[in-house]
Amino acid sequence: MDQGQSNTDQMAVKQVLDDRHITVEIKEQVAIVTFNRPKVRNAMSLNMWRAIPYIFKDLESDPQVRAIILCGADRDFCVGADIAEFSQVRKDIEQSKAYEVAVDACCDAIFEISKPTMAAIKGYCLGGAVHLAISCDFRFSSSKAIFGIPAAKLSIVYGVKGTRKLNSLVGITNAKKIFFAGDQFPADKAYTMGLVDHLCPMPKSEGSSSIEVDAPQDDPMVAAFEFARQLSKSAPLTIFGAKKILNGLNSGMGDITFEMADEVIDQAAASQDYLEGRNAFLEKRQPRFQGK
């Protein structure tokens, strides 16, 4: 990273923390990282994507932090990227590339940290927020949460890293359904396909297949915190080693390269359909895509 980019990112971190758009609280060796823009359902601004790697770097080096929970303020986890700012920060291929670099850096920081991470999900978890959640080691969800990746409604191609994580959790058929339709789906379906590890409350008949916590909880934050406290007692080097190996085993590219993926991502970013999808979102209407 060049010095100019480093300075830009550091300014982004300062603004995000000053505005309290992301807050960090440490309680009983568990860091709680909260997306805090409830008026826009905790949508991620570009500055928020840029801030997370710096926040997680600090959490990595803090010996008092043994586990981390991602959550959203008020009703929702997060609705993904703040599409309202796309016309300023993601309006062409160059900006789209820079934006995706920021998203990947954010999610890489979550995915690669040596400490166990979990997402506590309520309300909406859409688009880029799904990438945030699946970058965590575990996902605890309210039974009333709503999931979805509406890339097909914006003519955006999800990046390789997020796609790979989703595919490893839900399988290729479910991943294709999620991407091709772009529809929203309920938490029980997310649980059935493997996107969610623990529902709150858990169906009694399925509790044995879920992550076990000491007591049944109706709140995903309470359940995630209890599980985080349990993991905080485990050997950190064991967690770090196992996490590094397991993540590495699931990170093969197969027959696709990043260059091949960039080609289709750039094609979508430069398309008329992307502009149409963005405008339709802001105008609260159905997009009219032309495939170009």
pLDDT in tens, 6-17: 787 788 888 999
Residue 208 has pLDDT above 50, yes or no: no
Residue 288 belongs to some domain of the structure: no
On whether residue 44 sits in a domain, the answer given is yes
- Length of the chain measured in residues: 292
pLDDT, average across residues 66-84:
97
Query: Over 90: is that where the pLDDT of 87 sits?
Result: yes
Tens-place pLDDT, residues 27-46: 999 999 999 999 999 999 99
Instruction: Identify the residue with better confidence: 14 or 250.
Output: 14
Q: Residue 70's CB: how many other CB atoms inside 10 A?
A: 26
Q: Is the pLDDT of residue 2 over 80?
A: no
- Put the strands of the sheet holding 184-186 in their side by side order: 124-126, 146-148, 184-186
Domain at 101, CATH number: 3.90.226.10
11-46 burial code (b ≥16 CB/10 A, e <16): ebbeebeeeebbebeeeebbbbbbbbbeeebbbbbb
Work out the mean pLDDT of the chain and round it to a whole number: 91
Least confident of 41-55, 130-144, 216-230, 252-266: 252-266
> What is the maximum alpha-carbon separation in the chain?
55
pLDDT range class, residue 291, cuts 50, 70, 90: confident
Residue 65, in any domain of the structure: yes
Lowest mean pLDDT among 161-175, 176-190, 192-206, 266-280: 192-206
Of the candidates 164, 65, 64, 61, the residue with the CA atom closest to the CA atom of residue 108: 164
Is 190 inside a domain boundary?
Answer: yes
In this structure, are residues 124 and 79 in contact, taking their beta carbons and an 8 Å threshold? Answer: yes
In-domain check, residue 292: no
Give the range of the structural domain holding residue 178, as residue numbers without chain letter: 3-283
Q: What is the mean pLDDT of residues 103-110?
A: 97
Point out the least confidently predicted range of 11-25, 67-81, 246-260. Answer: 246-260
Is residue 46 included in any domain, yes or no?
yes
User: What pTM, to 2 d.p., does this model score?
Assistant: 0.90
Structural domain count, the chain: 1
In a domain? residue 144: yes
Contact 61, 108 (CB under 8 A): no
Residue 161 domain flag: yes
